[in-house]
Each structure stands twice: as structure tokens, then as C-alpha cells.
């Protein structure tokens, strides 16, 4: 008997073995794409997605459109069912609350992607279809199979929660805790959210039947185990105590306000815009956009400004 296997089938068999062996966290993006979906095990092959925007800027949504590991068409028609997205859906007006209510009542499995923080203190500062977004998030999160916090605002509050804001904006995780909602969550900080982080996490959930390994802050270890600093192309300069004195110089950017040591993200390795560039390669200190303390009150500064402000307002704010 001859067995004919094309390359794709062959790869799929291999990955079934990999997954069965529990080695799924090691899967690369390409391996996940090639892996076969075990629809019987998951209960669905293309999960329903519902996307909500709280106190957000739509930057994570526009960032998603830059994904090139798969096409947006494949994302919409092959891997997932995007039941509702505020910037892509043709549905408008009353159709929207109808969709959201019907989904929540349907008993069908779905994933909630939350972009932006949730203003808990002043719920009326973010309204959708006559109801605060916190009500919609509560309704949909409670019945979701999984909640994903897309971007820094949803993961830790971000600019919506910066010192001096009044709305009592909260991260998705804090919100779930306050409401005693037990749905598992994943945090994908970075401002904006990296599209590959979201697509990888979804593919892993669909194909490997579970979430990628998460750290204590519920971030996939694959992306958030290393600080920007330790993988920085200027790390050798740091070790040699060779510090840039101003923008444009070679050397470590630490003395110009770089937040690399306190920021965990794989932007150095993965880059942005299909690895076209990242902040350090653009000659700019890291602004810590994936850090839970983003935004700090002092980001890039000159050396002279740093000296003047140390002891004064370097850490803190005038408030």
C-alpha cells in the first residue's frame, strides 16, 4: 500500500503529535497556521468574536488591520466569525444592540475582545446604545468563553487611567474582578496592540485548544517574558556604560528617558508593521507603551532636563 501525503497534510500530522505531546506553547506562528483544527474537541472551528470599544482611540483596531501573517479576508471569513466590530460592521443603530443582546442570549460560544478601558467611576462617560459600556462589557464578558484585553488601555488602563483623569477608568481584569465575573482573560498590552499578538493568541486558542502560557499578569509569556532593555540592539553600549548624550548619537538611550528596563514586550524582536521598524531603531527612547505604568509623567527628555528635574518631578507629577 502506498501512502500519499502532501506537504501540508504531513505538517498537520506532525503538529497533531506536537499538540498531543503538550508542546503547543512552543509552536511558531507558521506552525499554528498549518495545524489542523480539531473542531470536535473545541466545539467550533471558527469562533464568534465580538469587539467592544470602551475608553479607547481605535488605534488597536487600526493596528489589527496591519496584520500580514494572514489576510484580513482570511481573518474574517476563515479563522473567525466577526459578529460585531465598531469600525468594520455594516450594522448600524438599533441593529447593534440587537446583535449584542442576541449573541449574549444565544448560548453559543464566543470570544470578547475589549479595546480601551472601562470607565467604572463615571459610567456615563462611555455610552453605547443608551447604556454605559460597562453594562455591555458585563453582559458580554459574563457569557464569553474568553475575554481578550487588546492594548494597554484594556490591559492596565493606559492613557484613559493616567494621573489627572476623572472617569475612574479600569482595566478589563479589574472590571471582571469587581463584577465577580469568572471568564478567563488574556492581556495583550502595547500601545497600540500588536496585531500578531492577537492573531497568535486566537489561533493558539482555536488550534491548540487552549491559551498560550500566561504569566502572572495574564500576558502570553511568548511575547512578554523579556524586557525591551535586555533585547535592545544598544544593550552592548549599556554594558560598556556608553550612553547617548542626545538624540542621534550611538549608545544606550537610558539617560534620555528610555523606559526599556521597566517595559516587557517583544517589540525589539518582532518589530512593528511587519518588522519594518521599532522605537529604538527609530532613534527614540522606549516610551514604555506596554508597561502597566504607562504613561509616566516624564518620557523622552534631554540630559540637562533630567538633571534639573531629578528630585523634583522626575517620578511624579505636579498633582
Partner 1 sequence: MTVTRITVDPLTRVEGHLKFETRVENGVVASARTSGMLFRGIEKALIGYDPRTALQLTQRVCGVCPYAHAEAAALALENAMGLRLNANGQLLRNLIVGAYQVQDCLLHFYQLSALDFIDVTAVLEYRGADPGLTAMRDWVRSETSSQRIFPAAPFLPRYQGDYLKDSTANLSAVRNYLESFTIMADLHKMVALFGGKSPHPVAIEAGGVTTRPTIDNLAKYRTLLNRVERFVHTCYREDILSVGKAFPGYFQEGRGYGNFLSFPYFPDSAGKNHFFAGGATIAGRHTPLDLKAITEDHTYSYYQNKPSAGIKPLGASRLEPLDWKQFQREEQRPDGKYSWSRAPRYGGKVMETGAAARVVNTYHSGRNPALNQLVDRLNRDLDIGLQDYNSVLGRHLSRYITVTLLLGRLREQLEQVRPGVLGFIEKEVPRNVRGIGITEASRGALGHWLEIDDKGLIKNYEMVMPTTWNMGPRDATGQPGAVEKMLIGTKIADPANPLELARIVRSADPCIACSVH
When the beta carbons of 23 and 105 are compared against partner 1, the nearer one is: 105
**Contact stretch for partner 1 (CB under 8 A) within 22-30, 32-40, 92-100, 198-206:** 92-100
In contact, 263 and 217? CB cutoff 8 Å: no
Q: Is 28 in the site for partner 1 (CB under 8 A)?
A: no
Q: Residue 88 CB, nearest distance to partner 1 (Å)?
A: 5
Q: Is 99 in the site for partner 1 (CB under 8 A)?
A: yes
Place of cell 479589574: 174
Q: How far apart are CA 212 and CA 151, in angstroms?
A: 17
Q: Residue 14 CB, nearest distance to partner 1 (Å)?
A: 27
Helices (H), 7-79: 7-20, 29-34, 39-42, 59-64, 72-74
Selected from 16, 28, 39, 87, the binder of partner 1 by CB under 8 A is 87
Q: Is 174 in the site for partner 1 (CB under 8 A)?
A: no
When the beta carbons of 158 and 212 are compared against partner 1, the nearer one is: 158
# of chain residues touching partner 1 (CB under 8 A): 97
Place of cell 449584542: 100
What lies within 8 Å, CB to CB, of 2 at 6+ separation is none
**Contact stretch for partner 1 (CB under 8 A) within 55-63, 174-182, 200-208, 231-239:** 55-63
Q: Residue 284 CB, nearest distance to partner 1 (Å)?
A: 4
In contact, 118 and 55? CB cutoff 8 Å: yes
**Contact stretch for partner 1 (CB under 8 A) within 1-9, 19-27, 180-188, 267-275:** 267-275
Q: How far apart are CA 256 and CA 246, in angstroms?
A: 7
**Residue ranges in 124-163 that form contacts with partner 1 under rule CB under 8 A:** 124-130, 133, 158-160, 162-163
Q: Is 84 in the site for partner 1 (CB under 8 A)?
A: yes
Closest listed residue to residue 189, CA positions, set 150, 231, 240: 150
**Residue ranges in 186-245 that form contacts with partner 1 under rule CB under 8 A:** 191-192
Q: Is 37 in the site for partner 1 (CB under 8 A)?
A: no
**Residue ranges in 274-303 that form contacts with partner 1 under rule CB under 8 A:** 274, 276-279, 281-284, 287, 289, 295-302
Q: Is 81 in the site for partner 1 (CB under 8 A)?
A: yes
The CA–CA distances, whole Å, from 294 to 107, 120, 224, 264 equal 37, 19, 15, 12
Q: Residue 222 CB, nearest distance to partner 1 (Å)?
A: 20
Selected from 16, 77, 182, 315, the binder of partner 1 by CB under 8 A is 77
When the beta carbons of 24 and 198 are compared against partner 1, the nearer one is: 198
Q: Residue 6 CB, nearest distance to partner 1 (Å)?
A: 19
Cis previous bond, 277, omega within 30: no
In eight-state DSSP terms, residue 277 is B
Q: Which helix (H) or strand (E) holds 132?
A: strand 131-132
Q: Is residue 106 left, alpha or beta, with left meaning phi > 0 and alpha meaning psi from -120 to 50?
A: alpha
Q: Is 108 in the site for partner 1 (CB under 8 A)?
A: yes
Q: Residue 216 CB, nearest distance to partner 1 (Å)?
A: 26
When the beta carbons of 16 and 273 are compared against partner 1, the nearer one is: 273
Handedness of CA 37, 39, 40, 42 (dihedral sign): positive
Q: How far apart are CA 211 and CA 202, in angstroms?
A: 8
Amino acid at each position: 500500500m502506498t501512502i500519499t501525503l502532501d506537504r501540508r497534510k504531513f505538517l498537520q500530522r506532525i503538529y497533531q503529535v506536537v499538540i498531543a505531546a503538550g508542546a503547543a506553547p512552543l509552536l511558531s506562528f507558521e506552525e499554528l497556521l498549518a495545524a489542523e483544527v480539531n473542531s470536535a474537541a473545541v466545539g467550533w472551528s471558527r469562533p464568534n468574536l465580538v469587539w467592544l470599544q470602551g475608553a479607547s482611540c481605535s488605534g488597536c483596531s487600526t493596528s489589527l488591520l496591519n496584520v500580514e501573517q494572514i489576510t484580513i479576508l482570511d481573518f474574517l471569513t476563515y479563522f473567525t466569525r466577526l459578529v460585531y466590530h465598531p469600525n468594520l460592521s455594516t450594522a448600524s443603530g438599533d441593529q447593534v444592540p440587537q446583535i449584542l443582546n442576541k449573541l449574549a442570549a444565544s448560548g453559543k460560544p464566543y470570544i470578547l475582545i475589549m479595546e480601551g478601558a472601562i470607565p467604572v467611576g463615571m459610567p456615563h462617560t462611555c455610552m453605547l446604545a443608551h447604556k454605559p459600556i460597562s453594562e455591555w462589557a458585563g453582559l458580554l464578558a459574563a457569557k464569553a468563553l474568553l475575554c481578550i484585553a487588546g492594548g494597554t488601555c484594556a490591559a492596565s488602563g493606559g492613557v484613559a487611567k493616567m494621573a489627572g483623569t476623572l472617569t475612574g477608568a479600569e482595566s478589563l481584569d479589574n472590571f471582571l474582578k469587581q463584577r465577580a465575573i469568572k471568564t478567563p482573560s488574556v492581556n495583550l498590552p502595547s500601545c497600540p496592540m500588536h496585531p500578531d499578538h492577537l492573531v497568535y493568541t486566537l489561533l493558539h486558542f482555536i488550534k491548540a485548544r487552549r491559551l498560550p502560557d500566561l504569566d502572572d499578569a495574564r500576558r502570553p509569556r511568548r511575547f512578554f517574558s523579556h524586557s525591551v532593555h535586555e533585547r535592545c540592539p544598544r544593550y552592548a553600549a549599556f554594558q560598556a556604560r556608553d550612553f547617548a548624550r542626545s538624540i542621534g548619537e550611538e549608545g544606550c538611550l537610558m539617560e534620555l528617558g528610555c523606559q526599556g528596563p521597566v517595559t516587557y514586550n517583544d517589540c525589539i524582536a518582532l518589530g512593528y508593521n511587519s518588522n519594518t521598524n521599532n522605537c529604538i531603531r527609530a532613534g527614540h527612547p522606549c516610551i514604555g507603551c506596554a508597561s502597566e505604568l504607562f504613561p509616566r509623567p516624564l518620557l523622552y527628555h534631554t540630559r540637562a532636563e533630567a538633571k534639573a528635574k531629578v528630585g523634583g518631578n522626575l517620578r511624579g507629577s505636579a498633582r
